[in-house]
Each structure stands twice: as structure tokens, then as C-alpha cells.
Amino acid sequence: MTDHFYDIDTAEQEDTLASWHDGSTKRAICNFVRRVSSQDSPDYIPPDERIAAFDNDGTLWCEKPSYVQEIFIIKYFHEQVALHPELRDVQPFKAFVENDRAYFQALSIQEVDNLILQAVSDVPQDEYVQKVRAFFQESLHPHYQRPFTEMAYAPMLELMTYLRQHEFQIYLVTGGETDFVRQIAETMYGVPRSHVIGSSVRIKLETHHDRPLLVRQKSMVEPLNEGPGKVVNIHVHIGQPPILSVGNSNGDLDMLLYTEHQARPHLPLLIQHDDEEREFAYDHGAEKALQAATLYDWNIISMKRDFKHIFSTAPAEAAYNTTR
Amino acid sequence: MTDHFYDIDTAEQEDTLASWHDGSTKRAICNFVRRVSSQDSPDYIPPDERIAAFDNDGTLWCEKPSYVQEIFIIKYFHEQVALHPELRDVQPFKAFVENDRAYFQALSIQEVDNLILQAVSDVPQDEYVQKVRAFFQESLHPHYQRPFTEMAYAPMLELMTYLRQHEFQIYLVTGGETDFVRQIAETMYGVPRSHVIGSSVRIKLETHHDRPLLVRQKSMVEPLNEGPGKVVNIHVHIGQPPILSVGNSNGDLDMLLYTEHQARPHLPLLIQHDDEEREFAYDHGAEKALQAATLYDWNIISMKRDFKHIFSTAPAEAAYNTTR
């Protein structure tokens, strides 16, 4: 660490990172960004290599009481049962209809991805996109009763803005389904769809009436974008490790280690959900990541200690306002 | 076409597109670029959606008498036989050692990809990258006796510069192996490795001495980046169709049709290798693409008619000068 070399412009920080409490985490972030982006720094890294990777669920937006993607599927399954009542006695529809929380709270993000396959497969890509957009337009977060597009953590949005001001290339590296997350990435985070690396449903090119048509298949592209899959897909899509990455769970550990083990300066960051009052407090599924953070002395972003607000007070631009 | 709306600034064209003869192709390109990038145009497309996709072999650099990637493999196989003389009687080493042109000239880009697997698999990614870089440092094109990094078509380099001047996002969409092409994409074309979409060898994340290590496997990521695979991979990596694409063979036809069949303005371009004197004249493998070009009235780039020079006269910056 070279804190003494790169004094922080407090005014600039406070301007962009207004929702962060002053403290060691904010200080570490600002020092790192200054170190790699100052032309006169011995640790200068050119903008093309200034890659930042953000997990999404639990890192950029709220993942409790359920993954947003899971809520989307539940809604879709209810609609299917309304159309075809005989599905009421068949799993997984049965669990969804009976609101069997034990059944679906035990699901991993991979299992959710597989349910997405059952929910919406063999449909044209465009039809799926319309379903996802309608969901974001119509649905509210079950706990906060606000649109999901307002469920981003305000300090994390500021961090992305701060990194962009310093010419970082920002990627979402999410266990969620790529084309689901793409529908909100541009509006919520300012991340273009080309910078969303997720778990992808296989796409097949078909021809309908002499025109090409992308159709969603019943299988996922290997590897799923979780754990080691995040590192493999970062290589496939970006071709180099991020110098800054942020995650909140064991599924982000490989990405954080990939960020750690490189010759260039790097900053792995782990978000800890420790704010029972303003959000949800849980370490379940983050045990290994927290152990590694201690071992490598990573900076932990404590939501309780580091965030002045959790969510933005102003309503976010709604996802369906996007013109694409 | 709206030629009459967007008068071409001839001076600007001649500056950037100096190696293009004036004619209908150059005119069509300039008109299209002006139409989609002028703020006051009814056909204006914002920079984020101004995607241009370029095939590589035969579109950006010379693919005759053999794919560059094939020449790399031959060289590697010779080295292997020198180390292990017993391989001399085993195919495909035998054909390579005996310079059996019939054997390897019959290969498709997919078969070349599969030979790459045999040549360099189960090796760490970094080791492969070193081999590829050494090849570009040491080898000359068998016909022109110049480094392969000087084998880009000068007018195509100018076209990429011209598109960048108008804020297009440029991607290579190549049948070649992603990490092979990545080693020259930045230096030759100014295309960052994150914008190289190719046929990819499967990568596995292993741990050596507690550090993550990317290791190349013996299989390819499906689909290979040729024919319909180009469209699928454009969706996976970019998430939207290109508005401008350039190819030269049947393997590019699906990408050109994907460019054609969209509501936004679009410009599919097909390069025809018709200059026997300065390069190589061949239509083999481009028959269907040429038929489609006639059917859809696409602009054909004739190397003979449209290119003032084929190659740059100044030596290109050598690939091994790249610092990464």
C-alpha cells in the first residue's frame, strides 16, 4: 500500500462517493484508483487494462428474500398454472403455487438458472426479452415494495461512477442469466449489454420465413458463471484478469483470487451483509470468501459501517424506459 | 439509399480512406457511416449500437496460400517431430513433415482449429501465448516474405480507422482460434482482446501452488465461430446484431444475413478476391455468399477495382512490441 504517495482529493471523493462513510475501505478504494490511474504513478495501468468486475446479486442489488430472477420465475409459473390448471399438482409448479418457501429458498443460483430453462425455453429470444421487461415494469420488491430497478445499492452505483471517471472498463460478472441481467444493466448501472458476463442459455440460429431467428434452447452454456466459471468466462470475454473485483459470496471467491494473483496492482473487495436494520444480515454462503479475505487481508465492505444509505432515495429511471 | 441527403466530405474521405479508389463501394460506405452517425439524420444510431463486425482470414489479412494459423501449426509440428522422431510416421505429423500439400490444403478452418487442439493442449494458457508470440516474431509469409503482422489489407485498416472516427465499436468475428488472433489484434488492428470473438479452446481453472492457473483443454467451446456460430457468439458477446459487417466467404454468410435482417439501417459488405496479380484470385468457398450478395444487392468490395494498394507499404509495428 502506498497511501503516503497518493494523497486523496477529499473533495472529489465526497462528491462522487457521497454515500460512503469515511474510513479504511473508502480510503483503500480511492488510493488504489489513484495509484493505477495517475500518469506519474509507478503503478500506472493503461485504461484498456483497467478492468473492474462486479458480481450482481448481493453485490450491486438486493438478493433477499429471494434472487430477483427467482421472483421472475415464480410469477411466470403462476401464470402458467392459471393457463394450465393440471400443472397444479406437478413439481416444481406445486411448490410455487403453494408458496412452499422451504422448497425454493434452498435453491442455489445454478438451480434457479435451470428453472429458468424450464420456464422459458424453445422460445424466440425476443419473446423472452419482452417477458423480462414486462416483469421489471410490473413487479415490486416483496420487502421494500419498490421496483427492482430501484434496488441497487447507492454506494455501489457511486463506486461504478467513480471508476468510470477514472477510465475503468466495468463488467458485470453475474451468476444470473445473461439476457435477464442485460435488460436492466444499461438503465440501472450504465453497463452496456456487451459487458454483461452471465450464465447463458444456449442459443440456436434458426430460419423463419427466410429470416434469421435466435431461439433459446433447453441447456446452458458451460461453464455456468459461478465459482471457477467466472474466471473461465472472464478469460473468454475479456482476455485478462480484472484489477478490481467485488463480490459477496463463495461463488465470487475464484474471481477474487484471480484478481489477487497477478503481477499488476489489484484490489479484491468483499461485501459483507451485516446490516440487519437497513437490509439483511447473513454470512451463509460467504464463509469461504470471508476466510480468504482474512487470509489475504482484503478490504471488506461492511454495509453497516461503510454505507451511509443502502438504497438511493430518488427513484431510478425505470428499466422499461430503455429504447432498446 | 439516401445519397442525396448526406453529401460526402470528399476531403475527409480521401484523408482516411486514401487507399480506396473512388467508386460505388467507397461511396456506399461513406454514405452509410454519415447516415447513422450524423446527429441530425433520421437514421441516427447512438454509438453504443454502432457495432461493426469484421471477419479476419481473407477479410482483414491474407489467407493464402494457407491460413496463418495453419502455418503456425505446421511449424509447431515440425518442432515436435525434431524432438520426437518416432512421430515422423504418424498422421498428421507425416503429412506435415512430407509437406503433403494435398492433405492440408483440403482443411477447413474448423479442421485447422481441431489440429490446434492436438498441437497445443493441456498446456497453461500463458505457455500457448508465448508460442504464438514467438511465431509472429520469427516467421515470414511464404509468398510475400514479410512478417504476418504486415499482411493486413491497407484499405481495410483505413476502413477500421474511419469507423472509429465515427465512434463505431469494432469487433473481430473470426473462425480462427480466439487466443491466437488476440495476440495480433491489438497491434495490427487496434482491437482490444475483449473485442475478439473467435473459436475458443475450452479453458479449465486449475490451482498450482495455491494460485489460479488457466489450462487449455482438448475440446472447443460450442459453437465454433463459423457460419451460424458467428451469429450465436455475436449474441453471447455483444448482445445485438452489427449494423455493419464484412466477410469474404460462405462462413460469413449467416453474419451478413443477421446484419441484413434488422429494422435499423445496416450495411453488409462482401470482399471478393479477384486480384490475381497483387494477391490471389479465388471464389472457392464464397459461392453462396456471392449468390446472396446478388440477391440482396449487397456492396461487393472488389480488391482489384476498389483497392489502390493491397498491403501497407510501411512496415507494421511488430506484434511482439506489444507490452502485454
Asked if residues A78 and A99 have their Cβ atoms less than 8 Å apart, the reply is: no
Closest CA to A303 of A282, A275, A281: A275
The per-residue pLDDT for A100 is 79
The per-residue pLDDT for A5 is 46
pLDDT 10s digits, B30-86? 999 999 999 999 999 999 999 999 999 999 999 999 899 989 988 888 888 888 888
Chain A contacts of B177, Cβ < 8 Å?
Answer: none
Asked if residues B81 and B167 have their Cβ atoms less than 8 Å apart, the reply is: no
The per-residue pLDDT for A318 is 40
Determine which of A285-289, B10-14, B96-100 has the lowest per-residue pLDDT on average.
B10-14
> Band of the pLDDT at B97, cuts 50, 70, 90?
confident
Contacts of B101 (CB under 8 A, 6+ apart): none
User: Over 50: is that where the pLDDT of A250 sits?
Assistant: yes
As a whole-number percent, the residues of chain A with pLDDT over 90 amount to 73
> Band of the pLDDT at A313, cuts 50, 70, 90?
low
Is A169 near chain B, with CB under 8 Å? yes
The per-residue pLDDT for B300 is 98
pLDDT 10s digits, A29-47? 999 999 999 999 999 999 9
Is B125 near chain A, with CB under 8 Å? yes
Chain A contacts of B236, Cβ < 8 Å?
Answer: 178, 200, 203, 221
Rounded Cα distance, A34 and A13, in Å = 11
> Band of the pLDDT at B110, cuts 50, 70, 90?
confident
The per-residue pLDDT for A144 is 93
The per-residue pLDDT for B10 is 57
As a whole-number percent, the residues of chain A with pLDDT over 70 amount to 91
Closest CA to B232 of A204, A181, A222: A204
ipTM summary value: 0.90
| B191, closest residue in chain A (CA to CA) | A48
**Cα B91 to chain centroid, rounded:** 29
> Band of the pLDDT at A308, cuts 50, 70, 90?
very high
Cβ separation B178–A125 shorter than 8 A: no
The per-residue pLDDT for B242 is 98
Closest CA to A78 of A54, A94, A61, A63: A94
Cβ separation B212–A258 shorter than 8 A: yes
> Band of the pLDDT at B278, cuts 50, 70, 90?
very high
Chain A contacts of B125, Cβ < 8 Å?
Answer: 235
Rounded Cα distance, A319 and B237, in Å = 21
The per-residue pLDDT for B320 is 35
The per-residue pLDDT for B313 is 66
Is B182 near chain A, with CB under 8 Å? yes
Q: Where are the alpha helices (DSSP H) in chain B?
A: 10-16, 24-37, 68-83, 93-97, 101-105, 109-119, 125-138, 154-165, 178-184, 228-237, 253-260, 287-296, 303-306
The per-residue pLDDT for A10 is 56
The per-residue pLDDT for A2 is 41
Is B212 near chain A, with CB under 8 Å? yes
> Band of the pLDDT at A8, cuts 50, 70, 90?
low
Structural domains for chain B: 16-63+150-321 (3.40.50.1000), 68-138 (no CATH)
Asked if residues A25 and A218 have their Cβ atoms less than 8 Å apart, the reply is: no
User: Over 80: is that where the pLDDT of B91 sits?
Assistant: no
The per-residue pLDDT for B227 is 97
The per-residue pLDDT for B128 is 92
User: Over 80: is that where the pLDDT of A17 sits?
Assistant: yes
Chain B contacts of A261, Cβ < 8 Å?
Answer: 211-212
Contacts of B81 (CB under 8 A, 6+ apart): B87, B88, B93, B96, B97
Cβ separation A324–B237 shorter than 8 A: no
Work out the average pLDDT over A5-17: 63
Work out the average pLDDT over A53-59: 98
Rounded to the nearest 10 degrees, the angle between the axes of helix B154-165 and helix B24-37 is: 20
The per-residue pLDDT for A161 is 97
Which among A205, A228, A258 has CB closest to B254? Answer: A205
| B179, closest residue in chain A (CA to CA) | A239
Cβ separation B194–A235 shorter than 8 A: no
Q: Where are the alpha helices (DSSP H) in B166-219?
A: 178-184
Rounded Cα distance, A236 and A213, in Å = 25
Cβ separation B240–A214 shorter than 8 A: no
User: Over 50: is that where the pLDDT of B186 sits?
Assistant: yes
Chain B contacts of A254, Cβ < 8 Å?
Answer: 205, 212
Contacts of A50 (CB under 8 A, 6+ apart): A36, A37, A166, A167, A168, A169, A243
Rounded Cα distance, B142 and A235, in Å = 32
Phi, psi of B173 (to 5 degrees): -125, 90
- Tell me the shortest Cα–Cα distance from A207 to chain B, in angstroms: 10
User: Over 90: is that where the pLDDT of A192 sits?
Assistant: yes
Contacts of A136 (CB under 8 A, 6+ apart): A147, A148, A149, A183, A184, A318, A319, A320
How high does pLDDT run on average in chain A?
89
Which among A194, A204, A324 has CB closest to B237? Answer: A194
Is A125 near chain B, with CB under 8 Å? yes
pLDDT 10s digits, B205-261? 999 988 999 999 988 899 999 999 999 999 999 999 999 999 999 999 999 999 999
Rounded Cα distance, B177 and B220, in Å = 9
| Category of A152 on φ-ψ map: left (φ > 0), alpha (ψ -120 to 50) or beta | beta
Work out the average pLDDT over B269-277: 97
